[in-house]
Amino acid sequence: MIQARNIHYSIKGKKLLKGVSLEAQTGELLAIVGANGAGKSTLLKVLSKEILPEKGEINIRQRSLDYWSRESLAKFRAVLAQQNALAFNFKVYDLVLMGRYPHFKGNPNKQDQEIVQYCLEKTGITHLAERIFITLSGGEQQRVYLAKVMAQLLDYEAIWDENHISKTPKYLLLDEPITGLDLFHQHNLLQIAKELTQKGFCVIAILHDLNLALQYADQVLLLKQGEVLGYGKPVEVLNPHNVLEAFNISVNLIHQSDMACPFIVHCHEPILTPKPAICQPQHFL
Ligand SMILES: Nc1ncnc2c1ncn2[C@@H]1O[C@H](COP(=O)(O)OP(=O)(O)OP(=O)(O)O)[C@@H](O)[C@H]1O
């Protein structure tokens, strides 16, 4: 379980996170949603120990995040950041193999290589293995990042046994993982994330597409200006009232009998923008 309690974070006097708490279990996909600038990436950076909160507590595997060194965290926690800065002249295969670095000393063994092969296959990039990373399209690059973080965390047994559940919990933190992906690959990525939850992973993903959050998340954390506006089951959190409050847009939740979850559509109601004061004729009198 990853637990965050009462997290506060400020930068240059601006409060970016104000008392955020969450609890994500293994076997669960938690989606973090909210408008641009709501604090989602900041929260993910705090959870991944990239930045330190000024107040609050984070526990992972029943121990404070402070307890874990970066090296030990790298064995069971991987992060797909929004802006990656990988060494771009590497071949795709070598970049994905870098995901295994926390696990081997010196040279990768056969198991590391098989894990890499498996992750290339799962993300549909085996045919790109010998390509130089910078020559790939944006969506292809995004799948390489996914393959790399998968390779970092997967147990060898998991590639042979689809029912394998990791004995030690794994944590995958994804910041807007579907950026640049086409519709097929958006669903493919989230299906992989779901499968990983069934292998003993806890996945926390920032998503902008609320319909994908409804479809794939077990829980949703809705942020507004650094505060939690809603936290719980997707259909409960992503109700029209909360969506209006968080995104300033009117929506309806459409339920269809042949669909497992409702979907959100924009409806053309007036939105709650602060209206400019309209001068009434008497003001001119
Ligand atoms: N280093 C910084 N200096 C000043 N302000 C910052 C800094 N980092 C983030 N912010 C501000 O903090 C707020 C939250 O940023 P954050 O990146 O967490 O938002 P977000 O919810 O991930 O947004 P988006 O959906 O646009 O990616 C934003 O207003 C951003 O401009």
Residues 150-203 have pLDDT tens digits of: 999 998 988 888 888 888 899 999 999 998 899 999 999 999 999 999 999 999
* 83 band by pLDDT with thresholds 50, 70 and 90: low
For residue 57, the model assigns a pLDDT of: 95
Nearest-CA residue for ligand 1 atom 20 is 37
* 269 band by pLDDT with thresholds 50, 70 and 90: low
For residue 15, the model assigns a pLDDT of: 96
Q: Identify residue 173 by its one-letter amino acid code.
A: L
Q: Tell whether the model's pLDDT for residue 276 goes beyond 50.
A: no
* 277 band by pLDDT with thresholds 50, 70 and 90: very low
* 282 band by pLDDT with thresholds 50, 70 and 90: very low
For residue 34, the model assigns a pLDDT of: 98
| Atom of ligand 1 at shortest range from CA of 82 | 27
How far does the centroid of ligand 1 lie from the alpha carbon of residue 6, in Å? Answer: 19
Distance of CA 263 to the CA centre of its chain: 20
- pTM, two decimals, is 0.91
Tell me the best of 41, 47, 209, 247 to mutate to test the pocket of ligand 1, counting ligand atoms within 8 Å of each CB and taking the most.
41
For residue 255, the model assigns a pLDDT of: 87
For residue 89, the model assigns a pLDDT of: 85
Comparing CA positions, the residue from 156, 151, 177, 153 lying closest to residue 96 is 151
Which residues are bridge partners to 17 per DSSP? Answer: 9
pLDDT in tens, 227-262: 999 999 999 999 999 999 999 999 988 888 888 888
Alpha-helix residue ranges (DSSP H) falling in 40-90: 40-47, 70-73
For residue 175, the model assigns a pLDDT of: 95
β-strand 28-34 against 201-206: which pairing, if any?
parallel
For residue 42, the model assigns a pLDDT of: 97
For residue 49, the model assigns a pLDDT of: 92
Q: Tell whether the model's pLDDT for residue 58 goes beyond 80.
A: yes
| Atom of ligand 1 at shortest range from CA of 223 | 21
Residues whose beta carbon lies within 6 Å of some atom of ligand 1: 11-12, 14, 16, 34, 36-42
Distance of CA 103 to the CA centre of its chain: 23
Q: Tell whether the model's pLDDT for residue 278 goes beyond 70.
A: no
How far does the centroid of ligand 1 lie from the alpha carbon of residue 52, in Å? Answer: 15
For residue 23, the model assigns a pLDDT of: 96
Nearest-CA residue for ligand 1 atom 17 is 41
Residues 6+ away with beta carbon under 8 Å from 231: 22, 219, 220, 221, 222, 237
- ipTM beyond 0.85? yes
Rounded Cα distance between 157 and 160, Å, is 6
Mean pLDDT is lowest, of 86-95, 120-129, 141-150, for 86-95
Rounded Cα distance between 221 and 116, Å, is 32
119 and 199 Cβ atoms separated by less than 8 Å: no
For residue 284, the model assigns a pLDDT of: 34
How far does the centroid of ligand 1 lie from the alpha carbon of residue 42, in Å? Answer: 7
Residue identified by tokens 């970016």 is 16
For residue 272, the model assigns a pLDDT of: 53
How far does the centroid of ligand 1 lie from the alpha carbon of residue 15, in Å? Answer: 10
User: Could you tell me which residue, 106 or 128, shows the higher pLDDT?
Assistant: 128
User: Could you tell me which residue, 215 or 108, shows the higher pLDDT?
Assistant: 215
Q: Tell whether the model's pLDDT for residue 205 goes beyond 90.
A: yes
Mean pLDDT is lowest, of 26-40, 93-107, 233-247, 268-282, for 268-282
Q: Identify residue 148 by its one-letter amino acid code.
A: K
How far does the centroid of ligand 1 lie from the alpha carbon of residue 91, in Å? Answer: 32
For residue 215, the model assigns a pLDDT of: 95
210 and 33 Cβ atoms separated by less than 8 Å: yes
Nearest-CA residue for ligand 1 atom 6 is 11
